[in-house]
Amino acid sequence: MTMPTAKDIMTPDVVTVPPETPFLAVAHLLAERGISAVPVVGPDGALLGIVTEADLIRRLAGADKPPMGLLRQLFANMDQLANRYACSHGTTAAEVMTTDVITVAPGTKVGAVAETMETHNIRRVLVVEEGKLRGVVSRADLLRALVAPQIDAGNYSDERLRRAVLAAMKREPWADTFYTLVDVQDGVVELHGFSRSLSVQRALKVLAEQVPGVKGVVDKTQPMPTYLFAGS
């Protein structure tokens, strides 16, 4: 089966605003459309930044923030303070937006997209190509890709599948290729030998099932004998 890419699952029609859009207009847009962020793009379609709910909240909160004391000023990062002031007092999208935007390329595999969103704890990621916005992938898009039927990329030989499973195991520190043997018969993976725990057995089964072309997994491993634990 072929892993879809960001281009396959993204929403191409993205609500955007130009950089000169007034702050209050952006706030109204988010509220009326029921969205939590809006990209800011230039006249040529280039991505300049993104305005999120958090940016707007900081803008509102900054209006009532008391002045910083002299002692804190002595140890503060002046560039950070200046940027924070601009964001909290700005009146346009360009002044309140976040410019450090997490993006992915259209050809990024869905698994890598999900990892990016998880790593940065974000609910959406913008799809950008040559600096221009192409679409957006949300968590809902990822869920739809997860439950969508996968495309069969063709038949694979048993030996090719066996090598693919072993290669996947070697990438995982918990997968023991020394004590666990892999065999494939008619596309069905058989696991033989020993495993360290029930958790490892379960994870090995899941790992093998993810290899494209695998039709099923049969776990015939046994618990690791005590003497093998002592020698490992």
Q: What is the DSSP string of 186-220?
A: TTEEEEEEEES-HHHHHHHHHHHHTSTT--EEEE-
* Crossing angle for the helix pair 198-209 and 158-170, to the nearest 10 degrees: 130
Which of 119, 147, 175 is where one domain is finished? 147
Amino acid at 88: S
Phi then psi for 14, rounded to 5 degrees? -105, 135
Interatomic CA distance for residues 49 and 151, integer angstroms = 35
pLDDT at position 126 is 96
Give the pLDDT confidence score for residue 76 in this predicted structure: 52
In order along its 232 residues, the chain shows pLDDT tens digits of 567 899 999 999 899 999 999 988 999 999 888 888 999 999 998 999 999 888 888 766 655 555 555 545 555 565 655 555 555 566 789 988 888 899 999 999 998 999 999 999 998 999 999 999 999 999 888 888 776 655 555 568 999 999 999 999 998 988 878 889 999 999 999 999 988 889 999 999 999 998 888 999 999 998 887 765 555 5
Q: How far apart are the first and last CA of the chain?
A: 37
**Domain stop point among 86, 113, 147:** 147
How many structural domains is the chain composed of?
2
> For residue 1, is it within any domain?
no
- Please give the structure tokens belonging to residue 223: 């618990």
- The residues, ordered by sequence, that sit 6+ positions from 45 with a Cβ below 8 Å of its Cβ are 132, 133
Q: What is the pTM of this model?
A: 0.58
Kindly report the CATH number assigned to the domain that includes residue 183: 3.30.1340.30
Residue 126: closest CA among 209, 36, 192, 47:
47
**pLDDT score for 212:** 85
**Do residues 94 and 183 share a domain?**
no
Q: How many Cβ atoms are within 10 Å of 196's Cβ, its own excluded?
A: 18
Four-residue CA torsion sign, 36, 42, 47, 48: negative
pLDDT score, position 109? 92
In sequence order, the 6+-apart residues with CB closer than 8 A to the CB of 36 are 30, 52, 53, 123, 124
Q: What is the pLDDT of residue 67?
A: 55
Same-domain check for residues 142 and 169: no
- Residue 64 contacts by C-beta under 8 Å, 6 or more apart in sequence? none
Q: What confidence score (pLDDT) does residue 127 get?
A: 96
Residue-level pLDDT at 224: 80
Q: Are residues 34 and 90 in the same domain?
A: yes
Give the domain extent around 214.
158-231
Could you say which of 125, 147, 169 is where a domain stops? 147
